[in-house]
């Protein structure tokens, strides 16, 4: 029956079936494997299963993918050491004078910690555990305190090194170094937009608390300086890893592998974390995260392969191109589609599953794949603070059990507005994304 | 009997976790050695990228049973809140059967692939060129472990359903 269906109808059937299977509560990775297997066998016969298994295997049989567990290890080692606390204290002492200072320094701490850990939940947990009680103690509303950390945590997927951008690079064949560079300025811009909203909220909405914030004593220079020796080595490692990546000195896997090694040396030297039990805990938690992501990548890869074998990918791309839509209207629809996907699925699954369909369409309409990667990632960030998945919301809820999930969500909504504003700014000024990679790597390098 | 089976699968899953974590740790050491070898001593690289890639694949397939035991594979369970406990159990049984079928198929095909590579003495086709059946067997072992894990899951869920009925 399936072989007589036209690819578009088949695409719709696969889509509906996939949604039903995934909503049944089956692990996402296994659900995608089941859907691909069913449709491939139905269309091509049982003899396809050998190709299926080999394709599934080859989905993760890549040296570049090693950068995923390595970056996760780097991040987890930092997240499970007192580096987060030191970073938080350091930024608070340096930024205390700024208006809305504590909230702004919390967002700043999220941005820097995100760069160190590359993980959104780890950032939320590490900075939120210290930052939220502190902000509330100093008079900020629970809504602002929780919302700013939930949003600040999402910066982890945009500011390099970012696992999401690595997977995008692999799925689309774009340069990971160039993607990382493309994420730098938009990441900083987004952090500033978050800070801007925090300032507005702190001073114009939480008026009463603003008055209470004035009587804070200034930290001494000694206090400001004492924390630096502990956090600077970690920042230096991340800077070093990114430098060798951008400079094309080493591949992402090599750079991240050495980065992970150095982070382990640093936590041993700075925080005396070298006991086998503690190291084992870090490795175990990183392995869990890495295996989960890698399995999703393999499953999404086989899912994309089956769509392509069934000619669904090519047909959808052709139909969209033939529709003759206005470039920006198409872009708008794609954003809505990605947002909806991001509400339910983890970013890596969305990327691997959809990039083979979306990228040919977008390049056909003249969009830059690097610019699109950043817009894509911001869409995925929104999914992290919106229900029903909204991982960051649940982490914040875990840290602050007395604040309701609804209240945390209300605090996060204005920050979602800031993310949409950021996408709009990037649409009007795409150079914000492309300028830095063009400047440092040359216009055509990295393709 | 069921408890004994569940206990054994849990123990095996823990051993898988240890293997996967050790593979990742070993990868860090090998990559660091690779970088020293390539950029400091200027030597050619032969076996290192391939070995760490095989370790990565092995840790994913074999570690999957551990991650499953720890409930670490993400899923979308929003509809569970609308269902009774019995309804959730029935739904979980249905999805577990689907997964069991998938892993049985993968186990069968992996076995075919591994035995073909072994009998025909294929290698990976690289300079280092280890026998191909070794890296492929991680998929076979992974599929076998997941099959065992899902049999255990179905036994557990079946017992729960019986209690609820």
Convert the pLDDT of each residue in B55-108 to its tens digit.
Answer: 999 999 999 999 999 888 888 777 888 889 999 999 999 999 999 999 999 999
Non-local CB neighbours of A111 within 8 Å, separated by 6+ positions:
A152, A155, A159, A187, A188, A191
Using pLDDT thresholds of 50, 70 and 90, give the confidence band for residue A242.
Answer: confident
Q: And the tokens for A65? A: 């993918």
- Nearest CB to A63: which of B24, B38, B53? B53
Q: What is the pLDDT of residue A209?
A: 62
* Percent of chain B as helix, strand, coil, to the nearest 5: 80, 0, 20
pLDDT at B161 > cutoff 50: yes
Alpha-carbon span A296 to A65, nearest angstrom: 13
Q: What is the mean pLDDT of chain A?
A: 85
pLDDT at A4 > cutoff 80: no
Q: And the tokens for A62? A: 């890549």
A218-232 pLDDT tens trace? 777 887 788 788 878
Contact (CB<8Å) A292/B73? yes
Instruction: Find out whether the peptide bond into A388 is cis, omega within 30 degrees of 0.
Output: yes
Contact (CB<8Å) A291/B64? yes
B46 contact A CB<8A: no
- Nearest CB to A25: which of B57, B92, B101? B92
Lowest mean pLDDT among A23-27, A329-333, A353-357, B152-156: A353-357
Q: What is the pLDDT of residue B104?
A: 97
Contact (CB<8Å) A73/B79? no
Q: What is the pLDDT of residue A404?
A: 85
Non-local CB neighbours of A26 within 8 Å, separated by 6+ positions:
A34, B75, B95, B98, B99
Q: What is the pLDDT of residue A446?
A: 45
Nearest to B139 by CA among B160, B115, B162, B159: B115
Q: What is the pLDDT of residue A82?
A: 83
- Nearest CB to B76: which of A23, A49, A249? A23
Long-range contacts of A185-188 (CB under 8 A, 24+ apart): A185/A432, A185/A433, A185/A435, A185/A436, A186/A158, A186/A374, A186/A378, A186/A422, A186/A426, A186/A432, A186/A433, A187/A111, A187/A155, A187/A158, A187/A159, A187/A160, A188/A111, A188/A159
B78 contact A CB<8A: yes
Contact (CB<8Å) A61/B135? yes
Distance from CA of A306 to the nearest CA of B (A): 15
Lowest mean pLDDT among A345-359, A365-379, A426-440: A345-359
Contact (CB<8Å) B72/A56? no
Q: Write out chain A residues lying below 8 Å of B111, CB-based.
A: none
B63 contact A CB<8A: yes
Contact (CB<8Å) B35/A250? yes
Alpha-carbon span A24 to A35, nearest angstrom: 13
Highest mean pLDDT among A55-64, A320-329, A339-348: A55-64
Which has more pLDDT, A239 or A298? Answer: A298
pLDDT at A213 > cutoff 70: no
Q: What is the pLDDT of residue A216?
A: 60
A–B CB contacts, 8 A cutoff, strictly below: 168
Q: What is the pLDDT of residue B126?
A: 82
- Nearest CB to B76: which of A25, A30, A295? A25
- Nearest CB to A30: which of B20, B102, B105? B102
Using pLDDT thresholds of 50, 70 and 90, give the confidence band for residue B23.
Answer: very high
Q: What is the pLDDT of residue B68?
A: 93
* Percent of chain A as helix, strand, coil, to the nearest 5: 80, 0, 20
Contact (CB<8Å) B110/A69? no
- Nearest CB to B60: which of A250, A283, A291? A291
Q: What is the pLDDT of residue B95?
A: 95
Mutation choice for A interface testing from B22, B31, B45 by most A CBs within 10 A:
B31
Contact (CB<8Å) A288/B68? no
pLDDT at A447 > cutoff 70: no
B142 contact A CB<8A: no
Using pLDDT thresholds of 50, 70 and 90, give the confidence band for residue A200.
Answer: confident
Q: Where are the beta strands (DSSP E) in A203-350?
A: none
Q: Are A362 and A375 in contact (CB under 8 A)?
A: no
Note the pTM of the prediction, 2 decimals. Answer: 0.86
Using pLDDT thresholds of 50, 70 and 90, give the confidence band for residue B9.
Answer: very high
Angle between helices A431-441 and A369-384 (to 10 degrees): 130
Q: What is the pLDDT of residue A419?
A: 94
Q: Are A197 and A415 in contact (CB under 8 A)?
A: yes
């Amino acid at each position: 029956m399936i072989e007589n269906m036209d690819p578009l109808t088949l695409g719709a059937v696969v889509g509906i079936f996939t949604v039903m299977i995934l909503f049944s509560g089956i692990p996402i990775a296994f659900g995608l494997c089941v859907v691909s297997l069913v449709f491939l066998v139905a269309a091509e016969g049982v003899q396809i299963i050998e190709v299926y298994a080999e394709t599934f295997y080859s989905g993760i049989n890549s040296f570049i993918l090693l950068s995923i567990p390595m970056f996760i290890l780097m991040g987890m080692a930092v997240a499970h050491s007192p580096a987060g606390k030191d970073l938080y204290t350091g930024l608070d002492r340096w930024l205390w004078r700024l208006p809305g200072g504590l909230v702004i320094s919390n967002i700043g701490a999220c941005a820097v910690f995100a760069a160190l850990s590359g993980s959104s939940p780890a950032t939320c947990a590490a900075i939120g555990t210290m930052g939220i009680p502190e902000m509330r103690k100093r008079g900020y509303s629970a809504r602002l305190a929780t919302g700013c950390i939930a949003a600040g945590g999402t910066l982890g997927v945009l500011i390099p090194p970012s696992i999401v951008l690595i997977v995008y690079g692999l799925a689309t064949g774009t340069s990971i170094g160039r993607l990382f560079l493309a994420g730098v300025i938009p990441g900083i811009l987004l952090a500033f937009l978050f800070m801007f909203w925090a300032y507005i909220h702190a001073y114009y909405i939480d008026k009463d608390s603003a008055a209470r914030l004035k009587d804070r004593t200034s930290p001494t220079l000694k206090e400001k300086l004492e924390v630096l020796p502990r956090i600077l080595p970690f920042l230096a490692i991340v800077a070093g890893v990114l430098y060798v990546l951008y400079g094309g000195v080493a591949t992402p896997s090599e750079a991240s592998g050495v980065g992970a090694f150095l982070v382990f040396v640093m936590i041993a030297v700075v925080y005396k974390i070298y006991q086998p039990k503690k190291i084992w805990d870090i490795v175990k938690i990183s392995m869990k995260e890495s295996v989960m992501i890698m399995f999703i990548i393999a499953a999404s890869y086989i899912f994309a392969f089956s769509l392509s074998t069934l000619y669904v990918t090519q047909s959808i791309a052709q139909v969209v191109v033939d529709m003759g839509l206005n470039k920006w209207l198409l872009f708008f629809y794609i954003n809505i589609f990605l947002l909806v996907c991001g509400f339910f699925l983890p970013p890596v699954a969305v990327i691997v599953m959809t990039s083979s369909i979306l990228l040919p369409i977008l390049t056909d309409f003249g969009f830059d794949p690097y610019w699109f990667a950043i817009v894509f990632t911001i869409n995925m960030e929104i999914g992290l603070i919106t229900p029903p998945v909204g991982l960051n919301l649940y982490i914040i809820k875990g840290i602050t059990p007395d604040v309701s999930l609804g209240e945390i969500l209300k605090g996060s909504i204005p920050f979602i507005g800031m993310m949409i504003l950021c996408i709009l700014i990037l649409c009007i000024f795409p150079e914000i994304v492309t300028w830095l990679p063009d400047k440092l790597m040359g216009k055509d390098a990295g393709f | 009997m069921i408890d004994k089976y569940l206990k054994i699968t849990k123990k095996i899953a823990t051993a898988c976790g240890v293997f996967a974590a050790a593979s990742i740790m070993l990868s860090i050491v090998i990559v660091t050695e690779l970088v020293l070898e390539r950029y400091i001593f200027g030597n050619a690289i032969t076996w290192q990228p391939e070995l760490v890639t095989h370790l990565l694949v092995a840790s994913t397939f074999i570690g999957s049973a551990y991650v499953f035991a720890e409930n670490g594979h993400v899923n979308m369970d929003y509809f569970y809140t609308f269902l009774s406990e019995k309804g959730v159990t029935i739904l979980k049984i249905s999805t577990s059967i689907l997964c069991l079928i998938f892993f049985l198929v993968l186990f069968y095909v992996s076995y075919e692939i591994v035995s073909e590579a072994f009998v025909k003495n294929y290698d990976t086709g690289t300079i280092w060129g280890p026998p191909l059946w070794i890296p492929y067997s991680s998929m076979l072992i992974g599929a076998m472990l997941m099959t065992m894990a899902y049999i255990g899951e179905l036994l557990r869920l079946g017992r729960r359903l019986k209690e609820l009925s």
